[in-house]
């Protein structure tokens, strides 16, 4: 993608699009995205959002994140299994090396795995073009080696991209990307004539900025999930919408927060016309519907 003032897609207001119909006439497609991340102990981690990275080993900050992989992700798996929801985790490829048990458990649950950099300590916008290309390729290849399937979806760590990212993702055969949090429906990108779908992700219904940066409570996060759902569900009566619930095991997976996720999902589950789906299922149905906006 060349530097430009607007994205590689047309501006089509949501009210000017054809009606979007989900399977079984569902109003809303809901996908749940745990971010399963790895932070090397040898790299410093900021003690709080916005602060510079501390000198390694950043024991407290690192251990908080490690808690998510040792304990939190298993709580999330239990809650989602209780509600019969298959997640679409974004995965740092280094998890395959250090915590393959998580990946195997996700596969057993029928989860769809997306690429999410090699480590969360190195974002794509900090790399040279060739380093970025190789990072994306290694990430997708390493996940495929353990899971048997090359990821079709991508979320950049920190939602970070460069002018080259979309081209590299298209080169690797990715079907969709979740970095562009600017819509409530999928839309088609044009990457030099190669299609790449943008799927709605969220920086709002996302426990990391909500709790870590905005200092929201779990009760406020649960309320935000419910209100987000209520609005999208009502709008979905006219044309289908997508709702993303974005999670981090070290945040939502601690004992005093996990019940908030459970209760929010119970609320959504009590409504008819909701399609819990994986990212690939949402994108493939959207493509099959003939939508091009």
Confidence check: pLDDT of 291 > 80: no
pLDDT at site 16: 96
DSSP symbols for 178-221: ------SS-EEEEETTEEEEE----SSSBHIIIIIIS---HHHH
Low-confidence winner among 47-61, 116-130, 254-268 (lowest mean pLDDT)? 47-61
Tell me if 133 sits within 8 A of 174, measured CB to CB: no
Confidence check: pLDDT of 155 > 70: yes
DSSP symbols for 44-102: ---SSTTSPPPSSP-HHHHHHHHHIIIIIHHHHHHHHHHTT-----EE-THHHHH-HHH
Domains and CATH numbers, the chain: 27-288 (3.20.20.370)
pLDDT band of residue 48 (cuts 50, 70, 90) is confident
Q: What is the pTM of this model?
A: 0.97
Quickly count: other Cβ atoms within 10 Å of residue 160's Cβ. Answer: 15
β-sheet bridge partners, residue 187: 198
Name the residue among 98, 112, 32 with its Cα closest to residue 69. Answer: 98
Low-confidence winner among 118-122, 139-143, 251-255, 286-290 (lowest mean pLDDT)? 286-290
């Amino acid at each position: 993608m060349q530097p430009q003032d607007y994205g590689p897609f047309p501006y089509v207001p949501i009210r000017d699009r054809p009606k979007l119909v989900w399977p079984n006439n569902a109003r809303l497609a809901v996908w749940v995205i745990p971010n399963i991340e790895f932070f090397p102990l040898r790299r410093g981690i900021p003690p709080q959002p916005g602060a510079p990275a501390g000198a390694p080993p950043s024991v407290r900050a690192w251990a908080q994140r490690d808690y998510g992989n040792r304990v939190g992700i298993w709580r999330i798996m239990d809650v989602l299994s209780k509600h019969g929801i298959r997640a679409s985790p974004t995965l740092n490829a280094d998890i395959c090396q250090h915590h393959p048990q998580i990946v195997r458990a996700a596969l057993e649950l029928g989860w769809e795995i997306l690429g999410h950099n090699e480590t969360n300590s190195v974002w794509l916008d900090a790399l040279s073009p060739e380093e970025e290309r190789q990072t994306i390729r290694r990430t997708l290849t390493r996940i495929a080696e353990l899971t048997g399937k090359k990821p079709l979806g991508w979320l950049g760590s920190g939602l970070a991209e460069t002018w080259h990212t979309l081209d590299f993702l298209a080169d690797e055969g990715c079907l969709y990307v979740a970095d562009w949090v600017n819509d409530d429906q999928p839309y088609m990108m044009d990457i030099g004539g190669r299609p790449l779908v943008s799927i709605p992700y969220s920086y709002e219904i996302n426990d990391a900025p909500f709790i870590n940066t905005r200092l929201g409570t779990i009760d406020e996060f649960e309320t935000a999930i419910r209100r987000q759902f209520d609005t999208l569900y009502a709008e979905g009566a006219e044309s289908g919408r997508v709702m993303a619930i974005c999670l981090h095991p070290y945040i939502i997976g601690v004992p005093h927060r996990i019940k908030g996720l459970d209760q929010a999902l119970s609320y959504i589950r009590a409504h008819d016309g909701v399609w819990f789906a994986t990212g690939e299922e949402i994108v493939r149905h959207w493509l099959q519907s003939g939508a091009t906006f």
